[in-house]
Chains A and B, each alone.
Chain A
Amino acid sequence: MEAISSVSGRAYPFGRKNIDTDIIIPAKWLKTISRSGLGEGAFETIRAEEGNIFDDPEYAGSPILIAGDNFGCGSSREHAAWAMADMGIKAVIAPSFSDIFSSNAFKNALLTIALPQEAIDRLIEVAQSDPIHINLENQIVTTDFQDRFPFEIDPFRKNCLLNGLDEIGLTMQRDDAITDHEASLQQQHPWLVPAQ
């Protein structure tokens, strides 16, 4: 995973609630066997709307998306995170995220930052004309004005993101503990995890 410590730049003032992963990337794009190139299909049905922000030159290439409650609900498709990363988005700020989406985003160094609705409303206002700054180390979102919005993040995830750690590599170092667990399961419940 790529290390990430801050994101700074313009933001799409999107704001909509309950954006499901079928909206982020429709199923017809899921037939790929690669992780790249999905940006083309990102938010396809929204891009079909007249005057949508994703095709507005004002916001082209913005690294931040500001959304409404329950962002990323529905399907577990990681293609949603891949598609957003492919279109250059590095962080999403919303009042809440679906559990699976925020996990998928984390694995791709795409920050999901939960802030209260009042903060979202203010950031959407700022995003119309000015940049937004996210500092992961200090866990704070700021603007060029007086705004300061602290956010929470799981310490393990923060550490992985700041240091670009490979989670699978980390877990593989715990192989002895996993093997011990398997051995105890084999004793307790031989039907559950058979001996190899």
Chain B
Amino acid sequence: MPKTLYQKIWDAHIVESNGDTALLYIDRHLVHEVTSPQAFEGLRDAGRTVRRPDLTLAVPDHNLPTTARMDPSGTIIPIADPQSAAQLAALEKNTAEFGVPYIGATDRNQGIVHVIGPEQGFTLPGTTIVCGDSHTAAHGALGALAFGIGTSEVEHVMATQTLLLSQSKSMEVRVDGALNAGVSPKDLILHIIGVIGTAGGTGHVIEYRGKVFEEMSIEGRLTVSNMSIEGGARAGLIAPDDKTFAYLKDRPMAPKGEQWDAAVQYWKTLRTDAGAKFDKSVIINAADVAPSVTWGTSPEDVVPITGRVPDPMSFADPSKQAAAQKSLDYMGLSAGTKLQDVEIENIFIGSCTNSRIEDLRAAASILKGRKKADGVKWAIVVPGSGLVKEQAEAEGLDTIFTQAGFEWREPGCSACLGMNPDKVPAGERCASTSNRNFVGRQGPGSRTHLVSPAMAAAAAVTGKLTDIRDYK
């Protein structure tokens, strides 16, 4: 019987199954400071150990300030917020106690957990990968079954290297044709979420299929798969191909020599078989996708940049009408306003969605020789990892950003989630390359417009949401 890629990876990881629930083996576990302290405490209280520290990798990212971490003499600068400092110290102490590999805050390899996984070759095709973070879906870009888990499950994986799960349904999102000029992977995934809604993928694993994804870079695929959770799907998948193999070859934790060759042979079998059935199928024409922007407080509140803020009464569902009105009140917008007339005070380029080298290149290409508008009070670029930062600096991108009036920061989650000092002030707008425009997400009262890196850069220059195609 023909199988989907999801079914193949699922079947290969079943330790035991009773029909409804399977005990699934977990090949890789990423750990960060926010969702792990209670899990380590649980192990300690029960006298348990981490079963496979060698398959586990920890890194701080959520809480960590993105300002300088060492003074010029090389002394580590203490973290001002005592709660953040305590949580970060707990990760360092817990990983040492349980023997878990740990990339510290001042290590050049440090970065956002979903950036460093692929970058280090920890993320591999056909593996099961979990992390106490919903954007673990990102790793599916390399053909791994990767999903976010809660802290109790973090503890379960630490103790047993398995999870008790019931299988999800399969969903195909097929995008045929080619994306138009000025349309990025971020625009595409925002468009997809706008089409399927934030619950469209609930209970499903999405496989992204079609020519657009085949031609997309690994960085672009990571952006798309990352936001699967915003469409309700716990995981996204893209079949591994030559681009995937080229991306992974010689990464520090990827297999080497004969083992590499054997791995690639296996990875080549990881494709959905012809004739395999999906439980749900969504087909999108790439030509219909425009540069996209969100207007509301849910990632499904998406319109093309040429569009207008919708009238809440235009929605058929009465509860959506009420929700849209609440969103507009929160966002300080009125129905009918052209998105391109919306003024922006803050720009954030970063997050596990859009902080990789290609993202920074796309933003820098817009900013080269330009300056941010006077109305833009705060503009920051936060590379996804120390290695991305080094690469960008080698290409001179940091100079382009700082000359344009941006701050060039240290790697971390930054202004994506309002857990560290990088926050958007209440009542102000931010054109943000992150993944969630929820109420208060970038700080209490913050107003987020989700956009691509190039669109964020263009908004910085004009001080308004801007159609990137006008910059050609």
Residue contact B23 to A189, C-beta cutoff 8 Å: no
- Looking at the complex, which one of B35, B155, B263, B441 makes contact with A168 (CB distance below 8 Å)? B155
Residue contact A191 to B255, C-beta cutoff 8 Å: yes
Q: Which of B145-173 contact A (CB under 8 A)?
A: 147-153, 155-156, 159-162, 164, 166, 168
With a cutoff of 8 Å between Cβ atoms, the chain A residues found around residue B41 in the complex are 33-34
Q: Which residue of A lies closest to B256 (CB)?
A: A191
Q: Which of B128-155 contact A (CB under 8 A)?
A: 132-134, 136, 147-153, 155
Q: Which of B261-305 contact A (CB under 8 A)?
A: 262-263, 266, 298
Give the docked Cα–Cα distance between A16 and B297 (Å): 14
Give the docked Cα–Cα distance between A172 and B156 (Å): 9
- Looking at the complex, which one of B126, B151, B164, B441 makes contact with A22 (CB distance below 8 Å)? B441
Q: Which residue of B lies closest to A49 (CB)?
A: B326
Q: What string of 1s and 0s marks CB contacts (under 8 Å) between B31-48 and chain A?
A: 000110110011000101
Partner-binding segment picked from B13-21, B351-359, B377-385: B13-21
With a cutoff of 8 Å between Cβ atoms, the chain B residues found around residue A108 in the complex are 152
Give the docked Cα–Cα distance between A191 and B251 (Å): 13
Residue contact B150 to A181, C-beta cutoff 8 Å: no
Tell whether B418 is near chain A: CB-to-CB under 8 Å: yes
Q: Name the distance in Å between B331's Cβ and chain A's nearest Cβ.
A: 14
Q: Which of B61-97 contact A (CB under 8 A)?
A: 62-63, 81, 83-84, 86-87, 90
Total number of B residues with any Cβ neighbor in A under 8 Å: 78
Tell whether B202 is near chain A: CB-to-CB under 8 Å: yes
Provided the pairs A100-B149, A192-B27 are in contact, do residues A154 and B440 lie with their beta carbons within 8 angstroms? no
Give the docked Cα–Cα distance between A175 and B18 (Å): 16
Q: What string of 1s and 0s marks CB contacts (under 8 Å) between A178-194 and chain B?
A: 10011001000111111
Q: Which of A26-83 contact B (CB under 8 A)?
A: 26-28, 30-35, 45, 68-70, 73-78, 81
Residue contact A96 to B202, C-beta cutoff 8 Å: yes
- Looking at the complex, which one of A30, A68, A73, A74 makes contact with B319 (CB distance below 8 Å)? A68
Tell whether A171 is near chain B: CB-to-CB under 8 Å: yes
- Looking at the complex, which one of A26, A96, A104 makes contact with B150 (CB distance below 8 Å)? A104
Give the docked Cα–Cα distance between A157 and B164 (Å): 10
Residue contact A167 to B156, C-beta cutoff 8 Å: yes
Residue contact A70 to B232, C-beta cutoff 8 Å: yes
Give the docked Cα–Cα distance between A181 and B159 (Å): 16
- Looking at the complex, which one of A27, A189, A196 makes contact with B417 (CB distance below 8 Å)? A27
Tell whether B25 is near chain A: CB-to-CB under 8 Å: yes
Residue contact A23 to B439, C-beta cutoff 8 Å: yes
Residue contact B46 to A154, C-beta cutoff 8 Å: no
Residue contact A33 to B38, C-beta cutoff 8 Å: yes
Q: What string of 1s and 0s marks CB contacts (under 8 Å) between A86-114 and chain B?
A: 00000000001011100110011000000
Q: Name the distance in Å between B319's Cβ and chain A's nearest Cβ.
A: 5
- Looking at the complex, which one of A31, A178, A191, A192 makes contact with B84 (CB distance below 8 Å)? A31
Q: Which of A136-189 contact B (CB under 8 A)?
A: 154-156, 167-168, 171-172, 174-175, 177-178, 181-182, 185, 189
Residue contact B149 to A190, C-beta cutoff 8 Å: no
Residue contact A34 to B150, C-beta cutoff 8 Å: no
Give the docked Cα–Cα distance between A68 and B199 (Å): 12
Q: Which residue of B lies closest to A17 (CB)?
A: B319
Provided the pairs A33-B38, A192-B27 are in contact, do residues A26 and B444 lie with their beta carbons within 8 angstroms? yes
Tell whether B245 is near chain A: CB-to-CB under 8 Å: no
Q: Name the distance in Å between B128's Cβ and chain A's nearest Cβ.
A: 10
Q: Which residue of B lies closest to A26 (CB)?
A: B440
Q: Name the distance in Å between A43's Cβ and chain B's nearest Cβ.
A: 11
Residue contact B199 to A96, C-beta cutoff 8 Å: yes
Provided the pairs A26-B440, A171-B162 are in contact, do residues A154 and B20 lie with their beta carbons within 8 angstroms? yes
Residue contact A70 to B153, C-beta cutoff 8 Å: no
Residue contact A99 to B202, C-beta cutoff 8 Å: yes
- Looking at the complex, which one of A76, A99, A156, A171 makes contact with B132 (CB distance below 8 Å)? A76
Residue contact B151 to A78, C-beta cutoff 8 Å: yes
Residue contact B150 to A77, C-beta cutoff 8 Å: yes
Residue contact A191 to B150, C-beta cutoff 8 Å: no
- Looking at the complex, which one of A28, A172, A193 makes contact with B160 (CB distance below 8 Å)? A172
Residue contact A32 to B83, C-beta cutoff 8 Å: yes
With a cutoff of 8 Å between Cβ atoms, the chain A residues found around residue B147 in the complex are 100
Provided the pairs A31-B63, A191-B255 are in contact, do residues A45 and B440 lie with their beta carbons within 8 angstroms? yes
| Sample (19) of A-B pairs whose CB atoms are under 8 Å apart | A16-B319, A23-B438, A32-B37, A32-B87, A69-B319, A70-B198, A70-B232, A74-B229, A76-B134, A76-B136, A103-B153, A104-B153, A154-B166, A168-B46, A172-B48, A172-B159, A177-B16, A192-B124, A196-B54
Given A33-B38, A77-B34, A182-B161, 4 new contacts (CB under 8 A): A22-B441, A76-B148, A171-B162, A189-B262
